Structure formats: structure tokens, C-alpha cells
Structure 1
Amino acid sequence: MAAEALLKGAAALGYTMKVETRGSVGAKNELTAEDIAKADAVIVAADANVETTRFAGKRLLQTGTKPAIHDAQSLIREALAMEPATAVTSAKTAAKPERTGPYKHLMTGVSHMLPLVVAGGLLIALAFAVGGIYAGDQPGTLGWALMQIGAKSAFALFIPVFAGFIAFSIADRPGLTPGLIGGMLASSVGAGFLGGIAAGFLAGYFTRWLNRTLKLPDQLAGLKPVLILPLVSSLVIGLAMIFLIGPPVKVIMDGVSAWLNSLQGSSALLLGLILGGMMAFDMGGPINKAAYTFAVGLVSTKIYGPMAAVMAAGMVPPLGLALAATLSRNRFSADEQQATKATAVLGMAFITEGAIPFAAADPLRVIPCTVLGSAVAGGLSMFFSCKLVVPHGGIFVLAIPGAISQPLGYVVALLAGTLVTTAALYVMKKPAAALVPVAS
């Protein structure tokens, strides 16, 4: 969506623009050296860390994806007005610099971890489908083999990879080794994903500090990246994880796990309401990602309820908006009406960001309605004790045997949340001819 918005913004201003996208499937439409040389300005719109050395000497504007989606033309004008070889953060995000650093590092870890969690979760679901609930206890069978691949390998790697790429985002390549080692130790001592987060940030910031502080003669400088930094950082982070950080974080994780496993009835409903509302509040922003990361991290401790609640809630905003724009066409613009099919598909695929264009056009009416519906979906999912072992895939996970428990309750939760959002939008949004701006 950010890429499409930038292309449309550039065309509206009369400029030619090439957009390189980088996601979980890698880079597409990559910029060549010739493309960069010809460019008048470069915009990096990303919520994860991006290497910018290849843009040296160009007007360079760094920002998040949301500003690009909401007002691409302003970003383009801002980038063209900059001085060459100046890298700054967009004015739209500079007001909150505390979010752009740690938040980007965390999202870099999440983006590299997610494919492992998704693949591992699907393989575990397939193992249950083939060999039953005790598939992992039947050596030599196909179900047992799938459990070895999914649970014993993919899931064993995701916390080290999570920590490693948090550290990589902070300290570049020198941070990767201590981050991976710290994440592996977090898993082995039982500190879980909270320990992985701690290991990643500690490894990244310590390695970056050591790299900047340690000065060596030119003849020995080559030893820093291959010997000194990995050795010293891994030693320090390893000892810290074993003796200082791991034990107390394990106590915290054990307490959280025990509390979540004990939730029943109204307590589970309340947690689901909170997680669901967070998923719709900023639709892919820091609050949404905090709820999602919390749920994904719990999957490693075999707590699957919050994951189900979060995914149901994340599907509701685009599904509710698509249904509302279909049933109450006079309350939505022509562009919004045309986007209903694409928005519905995004919702079914658990891409909450599909609701952003609607929210950007009328935030004070749309966001409360989506938060309400998502909270209902998340709350009911927890209340019905739905559990999801796959952290992505949207409605399509229902086709995978064993991926979700209580599938009927899950469908009810999703439908209820979608209908609540649709009904709330009908009440809050007036027919187009009667719409007036809401004061902010």
C-alpha cells in the first residue's frame, strides 16, 4: 500500500518514480545503480531497519510506511526540498523519536522470525492431522517427522533468529553472532521470547558500543569484525544471559504462562477484549504489533489462545469495512466502494492494514467502530477457548486440520466482530451528502 501510494503521489505531482519493495518474500523491482544515480531524491518508507549506504550523496528521506500511505505527495515534496547527502527522519515521525529506534529494531527481528513461526506452526498442524495429538511420541512415523521439522527445528530457531536480527538491526553484522547466541541461551534457560528481546537489544547495543569504542591500528582493524567483536560480545552476552538476565526473566515467563493458562470465563474474555482492541487501534502500528508480538511469543511456550484472539481481531477491521461499504454504499466514497473486494480479501488473509485507507479518510468515526468489533472478536475467541498454532494465514487456516481448536466458536467470534463493526459504522457514518468533518 505504501508503494502504491507513493507511485500515485509521484504521478499526481508529475514525477516518474521507481519503488523497490522488501518483504518476507525478498526484494522486488530492485533499484539499480543507474536508477539511483538518476534519482533527484530517495524516500525510504519502512518500519524495519534498511541499509542506506547505497544512497550516499542523494537527497534521502527516511520515514515509516504510514506517512507514505496517508500523504505521499507531502513526503515527495519534502524529499525534493532537502539538501543532498542529508539523511533525516520525516517530520511526521520525528516528534516521537523514541519509537523509531527500538520499534524498528523489534520489527526487524519480527519480520525475520515470522517465516519460521508460520512454517513451524503449519508443520505442527499437519503433524497433528496425520498422526493425532500424540504424533510427536511415535518415532519413525510421518507425524513424528513433521514434529521434528516443525516443533524441534523451526520453533527451536525462532527465538535465536528473533534476537539475532534485533541485534543486527542495531549493530549491523557484528551484532548478529552475539544476538543469535543470546537468543539460543534465552531458549535454553527458559526465558522465552522476553529473554530473546532482552538478549537482542543487549547484544546489539553492547556490540555497537564496543565497535565504536575499541580503536585498533590499521594493521589489526580487520580482526574486529571476525574475531574481537564476535568473541567479546558473545562472551559478555552469554554470561549475562546465564547468570543475570535469564533466571529472573524465566520467573516472569513462568508467571505469565501460569496466569494465562489459568484464565477462564470473564478473565479470558477481558484479555481477549484488550488484545482485540489493540489490533484495531492503529492497524499495523506499534500497538497492533505489540499485541501480535505478545501472542506470537507465547506460541513458543505452547500457549495458543491469545494467538487465536489476535488473528480473529486482526481480520475484523477490513472485513467489517468491506461489508459496511457493500451494504451501506451511500455512506462511503466511490473509491471506497470500489475497494471493497480487495479489502475483504486482505481481511480474510489477516492483513489488518487493508482498513487503513478507510480509517485515514474518516478516523474519528472508523477507528472506534473497528476497535469495538475487534474487541468483540478477540474477547469471544478467548471466551470460547479457541487455540491457534499458526500465527498467520487468516481464515484459510480453518482448512488445515488441527490448526485451530474450537473452529465453530472461532467462526462465531469472527462473524460477531465483523457484524458489530458493520453495525457501528452504519450508526456512526452518515450518508455521503450529509457527512461533515469531525473536529479533531
Structure 2
Amino acid sequence: MELEKEILSVSPPPSHTSQVPQRVRLKKRINLLQGVSVIVGIIIGAGIFVSPVGILRNVKSVGLSLVMWLVCGVFNTLCALCYAELGTTISASGGEYAYVMKAFGDFPAFVCLWINCLLICPVGLAASSLIFATYILQPIFDSCEIPPIGIRLVAAIIIMLLITVNTFNVNWATRVQVIITGSKLIALAMIIIIGFVWIGKGDVTSFSNMMDGSDFAAGSIALSFYSGFWAFGGWSYLNFLTDELIDPHKNLPRAILISMSIVTVVYLVANVAYFAVLTPVEMLHSSAVAVLVLTLLLQCFGDIFFLIEMEGFAFAAILSSVFAGQVYLRVKQPDLVRPIKLPLVLPTILVVICLSICALTVYQKPWESVGAIGVMMVSLPVYIFAVKWKNKPKSVVDILENTTKLLQKLLMVVMTESDGEVK
């Protein structure tokens, strides 16, 4: 991300040459429209082509599936509002890392960052790039199957291209995001129009007795939440850009509310369109929802929903830490300036819900839980080696510093400087 040096006006000490200290800061260039585009563009992607199957597979009926989509939309919106309070209170970029750091210290924050970097972010990016690559290659391989290596190669090129754009200029990145967001919405609009044309013709078979066969078990509801997490994943990413958002105290909550409302409505209407064209049985077995494309993501898992549920468990654990930290800070630091202040009961309820989902997952899906917990536990030796081990040999220190400098130069990034306070 592009950086600027902010000039601070200070009175020079007497009898010395006047010098003006410089501080590295992020430029505030992202406006409300671009902020909404960032959130909507990140959220709307592969999830809407995968999660309908995941939710339907667990709750077993059209009616309860639509209810779960609405519940997931409301739940993620409430989570996003809590993030708006945290984002305007703790203005440092970094999202969950900054919030957990402020509340509980560096190791819990390191674990959150570890999970985000190794599990949550790569899954979403890989899935989206593979879907995009498939759509690009499909016209070329119209009469035969697309080679998996070709999909992966094009997906890798897409990721590297987007990384390059984001690295060199924030304005370029946001403009590309606006274009991509518009393209996604146009594609979904076409799906929705086709679905409602079918409804207009009177084909409403899927909407007869919609609640028949519904599975109201707590475990099934919890697992369907994970597909909702997958579909709505990304609403927190604007908080990573707080330092670059113009007037964040106003634009952050506005961007969250506007974008979440757009996504929830689009997802509900898109699911109605899906069920208008496909019966529940056809949807569970149809490639129209891009399951077989996505299975190429990690063939060793065999089932993409294994990965989604493992990621969902990790995300629920992170949310539990974030909202618990929010409650903790409200109690321990009540005088902290909070431009947005929500009722304390909201993050408290969200902590209970997230912990309950995690507990149900351990019971219902122990292997997914073990996988996510395993990723968390690996962070401990890494933290001890990289952070807590203070008296490292010079050779080790040199390797770590040279690696850091190389990555900073390669990605054109550097730590922003604060006024000395811990954020």
C-alpha cells in the first residue's frame, strides 16, 4: 500500500539547525463509495455459488435454507457493527490483530493473525481465483474438460496480478475493485432475472411445502452457519484499511451497513432464483453451484465443505476473542474515546453465540475442529521462536532481519509510525 511521509510542525531546539521530523503514515484515500465496493467486492464471490449447497445440505429444506440466509445476514451485520465500534475506537489498521492486541496482549493477537494468514484468507482467495480462472478458460475448452493444471496456472496469474496492483497503488486497487464488484453484481443480476422469469412462468415447485423435512437440530444449524460465514466472509476487511479511509468515524459504519444490506438482499434473492430453477435434490447434485470447480481447491480434503467448516470454526474462534476483548475493554477502560458506542449486551451475546457454535462443532465435526485447533497450536512454537526468544544468535537475527527487509522491498510495505502509544 502506498505510503506518505507526514510533516509534523515542531519548534526546533535553540542553537541547533532547524529540522522537521517525518513520520510514515498511510494516506487517507478511500471514500465511502470505494469502501462499500471493497466490502461488497470481497464478500460477493465464490461463496454464493457454494454456500447454498452447504446450508441446504445441513438444514434439509428450502424454507429453512432461506431463513438461515437471513439469519446469517443479520448475524454478520451485527458482528460488523461491533467491528465499526472497534475500528473507530482503535484506529490502527490490522483488524482483529489490533483489537485483540489492545485487549489481551501480543500472543492472542499473534494467534488471530496466524489463523487469518494461514487459513481464512488463503481459502477465500484461492477459491475465488479458481472460479474466475474456470470462467475465463471455459470458452476455450468448450467441447472438453478444462485441464486442472491450466485452471491453477491462470488462478495463480490472477492472484499475482491483483497483488501487484494492490502493492503499487491503492487508487488502482480500489478502481479495479469497483469494476470487479460491478461485474459480479451484473452476473448475479442475470441469474436472478432468469430465476424470476421461471417464477413468472408459474414454475414454483420448490416453494411448495418449503419447511418439509427441515432439520432444526442445534448441530445442523451451527454447521449451516459456517456456509453463511463463507458466503458473507469479508465484511471485516474494511477495518484493516481504517488508516486509509476518509473520515472513518462516519464512513466506516455507513460502509458496513450499506454493503451488508446490499449483500444480504442479493443473496436472498439469488437463492430464490436458484430454487426457482432447481429442486433441492438437483441443487445438491448440480454443477451450477460450482461445487466440482471448487473441489479442485484442495483435492487432499476430498470435500470442499470440510475446508469451509474448518475455516468457519477458526473464524468463530477469532470472533469470540474479538468480542470478548470488546467487552473487556468496555469494563476495564470505560473512558476510552468511542465515537461509536453500541449497547454492551450486543458483543456479550455475540461472544456466547460464537462460543456455542465452536462447542457444537467440536461435538458434530471433531475432525474439522482438530484441524483448526492444530493450525492454532502451530502458532505457539513460531511465536516463541520469533517473538519471545530475545537472545537469538546474531546469525539468526540477521536472517530474520534480511528476510523482513526483502519482503518490505518486494511488497513495498513498511510499518506505520504512531505517536508512541500502544494501539
TM-score, L = length of structure 1: 0.24
